[in-house]
Every structure is written in C-alpha cells, then in structure tokens.
Amino acid sequence: MSQRIYVLLSLLVVISVWVGSELLLFIAILLALLAAATQLWGHYCLTSVTYRRNLGAERLYWGETTDLRVELVNAKPLPLPWLRADDAVPPGLAIDTQQIEERPGGRTLVNVLALRWYERVIRRYRVQGLQRGEWRLGPVQLRSGDLFGFSIRRETLETPQSVIVYPRMVPLQALGLPARHPLGDFRSPRRVIEDPLRTMGVREYVQGDNFRHIHWKATAQRQGLQTKIFEPSASRPLALFLNINTTEHYFQGYDPELREYAITATASLAGQLWAEGHTLGLYCNALVPGTAQHIRIAPRQHPEQLVQMLTALARIAEGWGRWPLERLLQVETPALPYGTTVVVISAVINPLLEQNLLDLGRREFGLVMVGLGEARLSRPLPNLRYHHIGSHEAWHELAALELA
C-alpha cells in the first residue's frame, strides 16, 4: 500500500474534524482500517504457507501411472482469501486434470483456492510417464494478497523432485526377433565357463593365465605367483553395447527417432534376457549426466542390475556420443569374462567396426549385432548373428503400440 494513501486519509481526518462532519470522520476511519488490513494481509499472507508434493513412485515404466498428492497448508491465524500456486510440469509427464496451463516457457499445474486459519488442503492427481528421461517438477510460484487484490505478494519455492521414466519396452516379436532365445543358442568352445564373480580357490600361476586373475594376497603369503580358480558356470554373460550415434561423423548430426529406436531395442532386449536369467551388462558411448564418464555397467546377477540399466538408458540426453562404437569395444571388451556374448545395437556400421567384430570372434566371444536404419554389413562375418530391425517406418509402428 502506497504511503500516499495514508497521507490522504490523514488529510481526510483533519478535514472532517475541521468541518465537524461525523460521517466524513467515520468514512476516513473505516478507510484507514481497511488500508491497515490490506497491508497486513499483503505482508503476512505467505508467512507459514507450505506447498508439498508426494509422488506414489519416482520411477515409472513408459506409459505407467502413479499418484501425485499436492498439500497446501496455512499454519497461522491469518486466513487467506485467495492463494494461487503455479507448479512447473516437465514435458515428459502427463497429468490428468483441467488445471494445466500451456505457456511459452512450458506447462504449469495451477491450484487456486482459499485457506482458513490453520487449514490444510490436499489435492490428488494421476501422473503418467509418456517420454523417456529424468524429469524434474518445480519450482513453485506462490501468490496471495488481500481480498481486493490491492497488495499482492509473490514467492518462489525451489522444491525439486525428479521422476525417472524408463524407455519404452516392447515385445521382441515387434522388433522382428524371436520371443524365445532372441539371440540364438551359442555354444562355448569350453564345456563350462569360469564365472569371475565366484572364486573357489587359488593355484600356482602358469604361463598363459590371465594376468588380471592373479591373487596378490595369496601371492604375498606363498612367495610365488598365485592365480584365482573360479567356479564353473553353464551360462554365458551378455554385454549389450549401445551406439547412440546415428551417423558416422559429428558434423552430420543425429537422428532422434533412430536414437530412441535403438534405446527402445536395448531396453526391450535387456528386459527379456534378464527375465530368462542371463547375466547382463550395459556399455554405451553416452556420458553419464554430470560426469565425464560413459555408461559402464559390468555384467552381474545383482537384483538391481536391470533397474540400473534402465535408469542409465532413461538418463541418456541429447548430444553426440563420447566415442565411436568401435573405440568403446576396444576399451571395454578386454575386461569382459571369457565366453561373454557381445550384443551390438547400432545404426552405423563401418569397416573399422566390422574389423573389431572379427577380432572379437577370434578371441572366442559370442557375437550378435542388431542393426537399424541404414546399418548393413558389407559382407557376412563368421561367428556373427545379424538382425536388422527396420528403420523409421518400424519405429513409427512401435510408437503407436499401447502397452498393457
């Protein structure tokens, strides 16, 4: 409230006393009380007002819904004749309500209500994840004031809350892959495969043993090189290698539809293979957000392994991959256990990548390639199972699927 109002009211009181008008004096006092109440409301309206969100789940599969509860509390004896809360909503989440406003800066969930003294109001909504990514709700702008709107106060609350929407996962038949054993049956050169996650003892080191399997503590105790003995495993670990680059060179940009198709194919394969009990890992040339490290999830049978892989796929942002896929294979495959099946998902195939795959085949890795877009082998490669799952048309058909 402007100081000029109080000056005018004081002048009005003086005039009413000077002319001896009781009615004019009553009006002046009434206006002064109204101005004081307006200033009081404008100053204290947002004091002790809280806005809280409560999500039923912070991780959603594509198309899944969860509950969103919004709680507004006025914890003071001063009632609020009106309160407006504008909560920023990310584009990847859909909220089933008419209270969404579309603005140039994005979408906003709007709540307008009145709160009595010490009153709490809870409103519930349904939220659906419709786009892969890590989405942040907020900030919230609160606005309130007096009954007439003469004095309005604004306050922005930084209430960040993130929701991860996993990539779309489709039946493997929709990708043109068999529902059972989508990557085929691979026979190992050995009857059983040593599982590096399960150590059963040590023995003396002999020429040809893997230097990375040396047991240094036992070596120090026995004063001679000792190597680990692993328990045998009948299953072969699987390492998924995803290439987010859809063109061979940086200046060519990338195709967002083919990238999403590749991510969807990787997530769908991971879900099916994990359900079949395979030991899975994921490698990708995309950077982990906020770091300079690419995605690296080593094969293992941890209960949270699939969740970690889907989370990493969900967080893949726009931009170019850190390395070409062939460079990623050169860096990561030496650390993989013997007999691992390498599954490559890529929209780009070049001679260097084909040579890398040939080298991996000579080193007794199982090899599977899932190509999309224009990715075609220049010639059949020995010991490599190749699948082509289509291009933009196939992706558009998948995007139209409604999953249960």
The closest alpha carbon to 245, from 229, 232, 227, 258, belongs to 258
Residue 190 has pLDDT above 50, yes or no: no
Q: Is residue 355 part of a domain?
A: yes
Identify whether residues 139 and 184 lie together within a single domain.
no
Residue 253 shares a structural domain with residue 364: yes
Q: pLDDT tens digit string along 249-277? A: 877 888 999 999 999 999 999 999 999 88
Q: Which pairs with CB-CB distance under 8 Å and at least 24 residues apart come from 181-187?
A: 182/269, 182/272, 182/273, 183/238, 183/269, 183/273, 183/341, 183/343, 183/368, 183/385, 184/368, 184/385, 186/236, 186/341, 186/366
Range of the structural domain that residue 223 is part of: 200-232
Q: State residue 36's pLDDT score.
A: 67
Q: Distance between CA 16 and CA 280 in Å, rounded? A: 88
Indicate whether 234 pLDDT > 50.
Answer: no
Per-residue confidence at 9, pLDDT binned at 50, 70, 90? low
Count of CB atoms situated within 10 Å of the CB of 136 = 14
pLDDT at position 217: 80
Predicted TM-score of the model (pTM) = 0.79
CB neighbours (10 Å) of residue 327? 15
Report which of residues 225 and 308 the model is more confident about: 308
Mean pLDDT of 40-46: 84
Closest by Cα among 390, 378, 353 to 241: 353
Regarding whether 150 and 84 lie in a shared domain, the answer is: yes
3-state secondary structure of 264: helix
Least confident span in 152-156, 230-234, 264-268, 302-306? 230-234
**Are residues 378 and 319 both part of a single domain?**
yes
**Token pair recorded at residue 278:** 């395979």
Whether 220 and 296 share a structural domain: no
State the angle between helix axes of 351-362 and 325-332 in degrees (0 to 180), rounded to the nearest 10: 20
Identify the pLDDT of residue 204. Answer: 80
pLDDT value at position 404? 38
218 and 112 within one domain: no
Exposed, middle or buried, 2 (CB in 10 Å: 0-12/13-18/19+)?
Answer: exposed
**C-alpha to C-alpha distance for 237 and 339, rounded to whole angstroms:** 7
Residue 208 phi, psi dihedral angles, 5° rounding:
105, -15
In this structure, is residue 105 part of a structural domain? yes
Q: Is there a single domain that holds both residue 219 and residue 258?
A: no
pLDDT over 80 (residue 230): no
Structure-token match 């105790």, residue found: 221
DSSP string covering 333-358: GGGSPTTPEEEEEES---HHHHHHHH
- The number of residues making up the chain comes to 404
- Res 35: pLDDT: 67
Which value, to the nearest 10 degrees, does the dihedral of the CA atoms of residues 89, 95, 99, 102 take? 50
- Both 393 and 271 in one domain: the answer is yes
- Residue 132 is assigned to a structural domain of this protein: yes
- Residue 366: what residue type? G
Residue 5 has phi, psi (to 5 degrees) of: -65, -45
Mean pLDDT, residues 189-207 taken together = 59
Q: How far is residue 257's CA from residue 391's CA, in Å, rounded to a whole number? A: 9
Residues 325 and 178 in one domain: yes
In this model, does residue 235 exceed pLDDT 70?
no
131 & 90 share domain: yes
Q: How confident is the model at residue 15 (pLDDT cuts 50, 70, 90)?
A: confident
Mean pLDDT of the chain: 85
pLDDT confidence bin for 288, thresholds 50/70/90: very high
pLDDT of residue 200: 62
Please name the residue that has the structure tokens 């890529």.
346
Structural domains of the chain, count? 4
Query: DSSP 3-state assignment of 237?
Result: coil
Rounded distance, CA 128 to CA 68, Å? 10
**Tokens coding 281:** 């890992």
**Tell me, what CATH number does 142's domain have?**
2.60.40.10
348 in the same domain as 389: yes
**Residue 404 domain-assigned?**
no
- pLDDT of residue 197 exceeding 80: no
What is the C-alpha separation between 250 and 282, in angstroms, rounded?
A: 23
Give the CATH number, domain containing residue 245.
3.40.50
Considering only CA atoms, which of 34, 44, 13 is closest in space to residue 150? 34
Please write the tens of the pLDDT for every residue from 120-147: 999 999 999 999 999 999 899 999 987 7
* Element spanning 310, H or E: helix 305-314
Q: In terms of domains, do 160 and 209 share one?
A: no
pLDDT at 207: 66
How would you write 354-392 as a 3-class SS string? Answer: HHHHHHHHHCCCEEEEEECCCCCCCCCCCCEEEEECCCH
